[in-house]
Amino acid sequence: MEEVRVFPLTCAVQNYAWGKAGLESEVAKLVVGGDPLAVIEDDKPYAELWMGAHPKADAQIKDNRIGQTTLGQWIAHFPGCLGSKVKDTFQGQLPFLFKVLSVNTALSIQAHPNRELAAPVPEFRALVGNEAAEELGATAGEAACTKQALKRCFTRMMNCEKKVFVDQLNMLVKRVTEEAGKDTSECNGELLLLLHSQYPGDIGCFSIYFLNYVVLEPGQAMFLGASEPHAYLYGDCIECMACSDNTVRAGLTPKYIDVNTLCDMLTYTPAPASSKLFLPVQDPSDPFVSVYDPPVPDFTVMRIQVPASVKQYTVAPLDSAGILLVVEGDATATSAAALSDITLRRGTVLFISANEAVHLHVMAQSGMTMFRACCLL
């Protein structure tokens, strides 16, 4: 069992209510691409694809030579597959959870005690950070005062008596509705009406006046530090985060909300929308690889774009285990650590142990697009 160090995975799907339904969902498209026998239900939401060894949704190893084994069990038996630095730094655990998200209606206003990075496939919209802090800074002066002022404002709003904020929200919605056909961008009118239609009477609708509205285009990403407030609105994206599922919510959700904890834990750092964008760096050793390397040790994401003119390509070895997702294209993969050829197609998820190379014979006429999550210490 130990000698097979590169193998495909069957990954868990999360059917959260906010996800896109059926084959409108990028998650569902990837699932059926990777497994043509998979059954996709038209009216069922396919919100997230979890690729990793998280105990709530541990990926299954899809290799007949390896019995019914999960990735987490495999790593526990053979922690050396992580790479020596990763194994020692993260106590023998895969330190990241790799995801695909397909968002149809807004997720809750939330924060995590860890870090995450999101990149769109193809476009993604979100609320993130603290836009209002910039305006408060003009009157509050020093940064510390600005943060305190923003925290007081946001906390007061989130703790407002329900009748008061519902009345005010309805008045604002009425005003924006009456101005149909006019430019309401100054008060984020279109976004307000969208969120109110999804979550009528929800205090979270007012969050758009505190957070930045960010639209990510292909190739762009955003990095969210620990306790950074955010709410994903619509679209499909790749996400990588430190391996945790701890989420504190407060608005735009029917789930349990913990307003006081969220308001206490958030960062209130003034920042414009442009500061939330996280651009990749070209890999100096591979012209087809763009590296998203955030300022945290837990994870790095690489975008691999192999052009149509290239038919032989090697996924380079790293001193870290990695998870490779094929988003576009077809290839036959060979590796000394796989023992047999592996067919790669849209939706294939591959686990690559540390220090192992994977050679691709590209068959797609339009090239290949892949994302690789790893840990570069």
- The token pair at 22 is 């059926």
> How far apart are alpha carbons 266 and 131 in whole angstroms?
14
Q: How far is CA 332 from CA 2, 311, 322, 365, 368, in A?
A: 23, 10, 18, 14, 12
Candidate list 5, 125, 249, 346, residue with the active-site label? 249
> How far apart are alpha carbons 213 and 9 in whole angstroms?
35
Is 249 catalytic? The answer is yes
343 Cα distance to chain centroid? 26
- 3-class state of residue 60 by DSSP: strand
> How far apart are alpha carbons 12 and 124 in whole angstroms?
22
Exposed / middle / buried, residue 144 (Cβ in 10 Å: 0-12, 13-18, 19+): exposed
**Do 282 and 293 touch, CB atoms closer than 8 A?**
no
Helix (H) or strand (E) holding 213: strand 212-216
Quick one: CA torsion of 122, 126, 128, 131, rounded to 10 degrees? Answer: 110
**Do 60 and 68 touch, CB atoms closer than 8 A?**
yes
- 3-class state of residue 372 by DSSP: strand
Length of the chain: 377
Residue 350 half-sphere exposure, CB side, CA atoms within 13 Å? 33
- 3-class state of residue 57 by DSSP: coil
Q: Is the dihedral of CA 250, 149, 271, 135 positive or negative?
A: positive
Kindly give, in sequence order, each residue whose CB lies less than 8 Å from that of residue 183, ignoring residues fewer than 6 positions away: none
Known catalytic residues are 249
